[in-house]
Chain A
Amino acid sequence: MQTGYKEHIAKMLDGNIYSLAKVISMAETDPINAGEIMQHIFPHCKPSFIIGITGPPGAGKSSVIFQLARHLSSLNKKVAVLAIDPNSHLTGGALLGDRIRMDDLSDVYIRSIGNQCATGGIAVSAYFVTKILEACKYEFIFIETVGAGQSEIKVKDISDIAMLVLAPGFGDDIQANKAGIMEIGNVFIVNKADKPDSLRLEVELIDMLKSVNEDTDCIHIFRTDCINGNGFDSLIEYLIEESKAKKNKNEHSKIKTQLIELAQSKANKIIENRINSLTDIDTLLDGILSGKTNITDIIDSNVTDI
């Protein structure tokens, strides 16, 4: 790992933002690095409340996060935002533009991440980033993702609460999302409440949710309007209540999933490293191609101990 990481960890725990950013970078690149970092920071971790936010482009996720972060900041809560955007499959590059709408809050830590991580997958990366943030005493962490894809669902698994932001005219074809909608979570934000269609959207949403699951008591719908700043008081109240209730929840299965995933990620990396560093790798690969070598023999002789 990079030299000086211990100094960065020390500075980060002391409140240095640049060091925090550097430590996050180190953890992102490799779950083995991340493991080492965890050793150092674990004693400092204080549980935070992690809020997953997803929804179609244009619905206003970043604006909603801006309003929530602003409110929480004004209540002296320490807030961080992880904004996850897709990397291009072709080039690996990414355009990460979410922080634009949140940039005016200088004491909120905002980090933009591409979902194609060096290894381990985004959920693993995001997990370690939240841990690092917890070591720095961030109390509310927003994780913003787009849509309802596989990686977003996994991210939801590391969140304490998952919220779907919808807005009239922006991917509000709820029917199309029907299958994925209950996967997201049970909190829905109908944004752009100042627009005339928002009420219709809310009604459609309720109908659709009822058709999927009769019991709508556990479903929460909030109407917000970022331009005039309306609707956030009740949402904030709800989030703060939920953050207090977190301690009392039995989330064993959730934690077990995380545990297995992280273990798998580390194992994957170790296996990858081993195979890449086999001395006679080219000969072995030729052997497999020509049919002389049995691929399972290579596996058995190199990775059984895992």
Chain B
Amino acid sequence: MGDKKIRVLIAKPGLDGHDRGAKIIARSLRDAGMEVIYTGLRRTPQQIVNAALQEDVDVVAISILSGAHNHLLPKIASLLKENGADNILVTAGGVIPEKDFAFLEENGIRGIFTPGTPTNQVVDFIRANVKQ
């Protein structure tokens, strides 16, 4: 059996236009040997999940800095579950206050990476937690 590369969907849900972090993570994951699919800006949860399913990704990494995370992230996780894709590792990065971590984790988000996180930490987390 050939070694399947880890496939990661990097998603920007909602109206937030800040993509510096998303692009840096994309390059870092590529440099770590992963196949990275970037959704581009202004995607709805439905579009993100659609892409995740079609691409059979192992990880959905959501980037959000607009404060709408408590609303959008659980929606993405639950849509994945509805489609039988809850094996996909869902992570989040951006401006997310610590007090919201517990709520997000209860709702299917497994790793949350806030400003200042070194990129290799993200890579290691994915490698350690992905289900292939």
Whether a CB of chain B sits under 8 angstroms from the CB of A222 is no
Encode contact with A along B62-95: 1 for CB under 8 Å, 0 otherwise: 0000000000000000000001110000000000
| Contact present for B27 and A95 (CB under 8 Å) | yes
The answer to the question of B114 belonging to the interface, with a C-beta cut-off of 8 Å to chain A, is: no
Instruction: Report the separation of the CA atoms of residues A88 and B83 in the bound assembly, to the nearest whole angstrom.
Output: 32
**CA gap between A119 and B2 in the complex, in Å:** 7
Restricting to A203-226, which residues have a CB under 8 Å from any CB of B? none
A95 touching B38, Cβ below 8 Å: yes
Separation of A94 and B8 alpha carbons in the complex (Å): 10
A77 touches B (CB below 8 Å): no
With A21-B54, A106-B47 known to touch, is A92 a contact of B84 (CB < 8 Å)?
Answer: no
Q: Indicate whether A276 reaches chain B with its CB closer than 8 angstroms.
A: no
Residues of A in contact, count (CB < 8 Å): 33
Output the least CB separation between A208 and chain B (Å): 35
Specify which of B30, B50, B85 lies most central, judged by the most chain A CB atoms within 10 Å of its CB: B30
* B65 CB → nearest A CB, Å: 19
- Does A186 interact with chain B (Cβ within 8 Å)? no
A253 beta carbon closer than 8 Å to chain B: no
A92 and B54 contact, Cβ closer than 8 Å, known pairs A18-B84, A99-B37? no
B56 in contact with A95 (CB, 8 Å): no
A114 near B35 (CB under 8 angstroms)?
A: yes
Asked if A18 and B53 make an inter-chain contact with CB atoms under 8 angstroms apart, the answer reads yes
Given A91-B30, A93-B32, A103-B43, residue A29 in contact with residue B4 (CB < 8 A):
yes
Say whether B55 faces chain A, with CB atoms less than 8 Å apart: yes
| Contact A95:B30 (CB < 8 A) given known A22-B56, A25-B4, A109-B54 | yes
Whether B26 contacts A95 by the Cβ 8 Å rule is yes
B2–A118 touching, CB < 8 Å: yes
Q: Which of A96, A99, A109 contacts B35 (CB 8 A)?
A: A96
Residues from chain A with a CB closer than 8 A to the CB of B5 are 92-94, 114
B128 interface residue (CB < 8 Å to A): no
- Given known A-B contacts A22-B56, A111-B55, A112-B55, A103 and B39 have beta carbons under 8 A apart: yes
Q: Which 10 pairs show the lowest CB-CB distances between chains A and B?
A: A118-B2, A100-B40, A93-B30, A21-B56, A29-B2, A18-B53, A92-B33, A93-B33, A25-B56, A96-B37
B residues sitting closer than 8 Å to A (CB atoms) are 1-5, 26-27, 29-40, 43, 46-47, 50-51, 53-56, 83-85
For this complex, 26 residue pairs linking A to B, each with C-beta atoms less than 8 Å apart, are A17-B54, A18-B83, A18-B84, A21-B55, A24-B56, A25-B4, A88-B31, A91-B30, A91-B31, A92-B33, A93-B5, A93-B29, A93-B31, A93-B35, A94-B5, A94-B30, A95-B36, A100-B39, A103-B40, A110-B54, A110-B55, A111-B55, A112-B35, A114-B35, A117-B2, A118-B3
